[in-house]
Amino acid sequence: MSEELSQEQQKPIVTDEGVVLQTSFLGAPTVLVEPPDPSETPYPPLVRTNPLTDQSSLAACALPYQQELMLRGKSNYTVACFLSDLKMFSEHIGLETPVGRISKEDLTDWLMKLKFGKKGATPAPKTMARRVTFLKNFFSWLTREQIIREDPSASLVLERPLPPLPELLLAEEVEHLLEAAAQNARAHCLVYLVLHAGLKKEEVMALKMHHVDLSDPHLPMITIHFPASTGKQHRERRLALPEAFRTIFKRYQEEFHPQDDLFACTDRNLNYILAKAVKEAGIKKRVTLQLLRDTFAVQQLRDGIAPDALREKLGLSDEAWLESREKYRRLAFPK
């Protein structure tokens, strides 16, 4: 019975005025404007609540914070993780606790309880790092919106575990790989594109023919685009490629005749295309599209590009860049 009641409370109620009444996951009621047609706009419905103050409870902040994350283009995974962390923190300190009364000591106490509170249930270092990131994101938002005067998370130290470093391709291995890939127009286009643009596999798979711009014969460009439903518009960008890509792309067009998708195949096919070129190049290392992306990023740093400019080229969020920046720095400039 209680489960049925809980499910009933979560259902939105549409009034005669065309607005939606909804209860947040923390139990705080709010009012949402009627959601727009998702085919016309990528943005979520705006939250209309009483203005937040330093006396507002954590529960009252839940839906406005969710809206903030979505409007800033955070991935669905990040939004879900941060809201889960907010729920855990609220249950620890009290749902009705005014945000203006929360101190750094409260945050530290919660983190210590999570880390050492249960025997045999110590969270992974990466999970703890994400929870610190949540606290800094949540309270910096409250401070930026002038809901609270001072950020209690400002002096928290974010300790991220150092990920294992991949074994990058050497310059001569990159040369051999490109030479081997050139035996097949599709493999050559794929390998050259990732080595010189640093795309993720999902971005390669999403490329359309009209995303390639050869209007300037000396400066080929590609556009990285994400559908509105993915919530990744913050990662969209235009990237310049070396002039040689024009010839490589034209050859690929002539031999494979791609129509809509740039690579009309599965991601497994892309792995096979790359693996075949790696084998023909005589490279014994484990080479993936991610390794080609890492090789691109490290070479960019060695060439003197600013870290922030590299983050934009790679299309990384602030949170993802915190980890990737240290990895690429260690690879580019080992001690």
Is the residue at 164 inside a domain? Answer: no
Q: Phi and psi for 165 in degrees, rounded to 5?
A: -85, 135
Q: Which residues of the chain have pLDDT under 50?
A: 1-23, 29-41, 43
Is the residue at 124 inside a domain? Answer: yes
175: CATH: 1.10.443.10
- Residue 30: its pLDDT value, please? 47
Q: How far apart are CA 279 and CA 296, in angstroms?
A: 20
Is the residue at 150 inside a domain? Answer: no
Identify whether residues 137 and 178 lie together within a single domain.
no
- Residue 281: its pLDDT value, please? 97
Is the residue at 212 inside a domain? Answer: yes
- Residue 12: its pLDDT value, please? 43
Identify whether residues 227 and 299 lie together within a single domain.
yes
Is the residue at 138 inside a domain? Answer: yes
Given 125, 144, 163, the domain boundary residue is 144
164: left (phi over 0), alpha (psi -120 to 50) or beta: beta
Contact by Cβ (8 Å): 245, 220: yes
- Residue 115: its pLDDT value, please? 83
Identify whether residues 183 and 324 lie together within a single domain.
yes
Domain hosting 14: range is 2-144
Q: Phi and psi for 197 in degrees, rounded to 5?
A: -130, -15
- Residue 19: its pLDDT value, please? 42
pLDDT tens digits, residue range 239-262?
999 999 999 999 999 999 999 999
Q: How far apart are CA 75 and CA 90, in angstroms?
A: 22
Identify whether residues 175 and 133 lie together within a single domain.
no
- Residue 324: its pLDDT value, please? 87
Q: Phi and psi for 83 in degrees, rounded to 5?
A: -70, -35
Q: Which two tokens stand for residue 252?
A: 């690929």
Question: What CA dihedral angle connects 234, 235, 241 and 245, to 10 degrees?
Answer: -130
* C-alpha count within 13 angstroms, C-beta hemisphere, residue 92: 17
pLDDT tens digits, residue range 307-330?
999 999 999 887 778 778 888 998
| Helix, strand, coil percent content, the chain, rounded in steps of 5 | 55, 10, 40
- Residue 17: its pLDDT value, please? 43
Alpha-helix residue ranges (DSSP H) falling in 117-184: 125-144, 171-181
Identify whether residues 298 and 204 lie together within a single domain.
yes
Residues whose CB falls within 8 Å of the CB of residue 314, separated by 6 or more in sequence, listed in order = 198, 293, 297, 321, 324
Q: Which two tokens stand for residue 258?
A: 């791609």
Number of domains in the chain: 2
- Residue 40: its pLDDT value, please? 46
pLDDT tens digits, residue range 269-321?
999 999 999 999 999 999 999 999 999 999 999 999 999 999 999 998 877 78
pTM greater than 0.75: no
